[in-house]
Amino acid sequence: MLNQVADIISNCTVGAALTGAGISAESGVPTFRGQQGLWKKFRPEQLATMEAFLASPDVVWEWYNWRRELISDVSPNPGHYALKEMEDFFSKFTLITQNVDNLHRVVGSSRVLELHGNIYHNKCVDCGLALAEDLEIDPSAIPVCGKCGGQVRPDVVWFGEMLPGDVMEFAFADAEKAEVFITVGTSALVQPAASLPLVAKRAGATLIEINPERTPLSDIADFSFRAKSGELLPQLVTVLRERQKGAGGK
Ligand code: APR
């Protein structure tokens, strides 16, 4: 299967990937729905919604401070680096992520579309103004926006909220143009992100899934690898590099 996928990629120029929490699992970042998933310990409605923030902004900030702490201690894993290297095999490669952990940016992926925002970014809860990233948020004294006085909140997409329109537009446009679409480490349950692989496939892309568990995409993917992304993606890059050498570079 790996060689077949490498053959296909070697003959394509436009690629895209959609990543979910699973690509960061091997970095030690908990997923949302797995056995040790975040949503097993906390209920999303309690923490990742505007209602929760308006009711208890201190509790929501305690949770995000904990997640920021957790994520600031982790490093990208070979799966993140392999997706950065994937750019060498396409003339255009878009990395669409549901993750807010910033790890794709840490490895230097060039075209990253963060559908659900970035956990290190802050914005005003009222006027939406982007605010300083390095703000240490004290849950007992939440800073306020200099422009309108609204409280600072994490600039991530909460349940029930719209995704950033421009990012979505680019994501769907790039999914439609992709000749190869790789979906990695996502349960493919949360819309609209879960539609992107379907949009790509319908537009004629070869759909490749990498996930140790089956998902709703497993039956429609052209290739579905029951594997960890930190293992499979580097193997795929190695095979592609060998082809690239054989073909005298591409
Ligand atoms: N390699 C690849 N996939 C993995 C690995 C791994 N090493 N470990 C776990 N996975 C898979 C799991 O099998 C699961 O299918 O990663 C997936 C993680 O699924 P979720 O926890 O549902 O995370 P995700 O799909 O990113 O959730 C989407 O839901 O709660 C919201 O905003 C949140 O962005 C998140 C969205």
Q: From 19, 33, 184, give the residue whose CB has the most ligand 1 atoms within 8 Å, as the site to mutate.
A: 33
Domain CATH code at residue 222 = 3.40.50.1220
Give me the pLDDT at residue 220, please: 96
Q: Which residues pair with 153 in a beta bridge?
A: 123
Q: What is the pLDDT of residue 249?
A: 56
CATH code, domain carrying 135: 3.30.1600.10
**What pLDDT does residue 46 have?**
85
pLDDT along the chain (250 residues), means of 10: 95 97 95 83 85 94 91 95 98 98 97 96 94 84 94 94 95 98 97 96 98 97 98 98 78
Identify whether residues 129 and 184 lie together within a single domain: no
Q: Which atom of ligand 1 is nearest to the CA of 193?
A: 28
CB 57 within 8 A of CB 64: no
Distance CA 87, CA 170 (A): 17
pLDDT digits (tens, 9 = 90+) for 68-94: 998 999 999 999 999 999 999 999 999
185: nearest Cα among 130, 230, 221: 230
Q: Are residues 180 and 58 in the same domain?
A: no
pLDDT digits (tens, 9 = 90+) for 99-145: 999 999 999 999 999 999 999 999 999 999 999 887 779 999 999 99
Q: Ligand 1 centroid vs 69 CA: distance in angstroms?
A: 20
Q: Which token pair is 72?
A: 């600031």
The reported pLDDT for the residue numbered 44 is: 79
pLDDT at 68: 92
Largest CA distance in the chain: 61
> Does the annotation count 104 as an active-site position?
no
User: Which residue range forms the structural domain that includes residue 100?
Assistant: 2-28+77-116+162-246
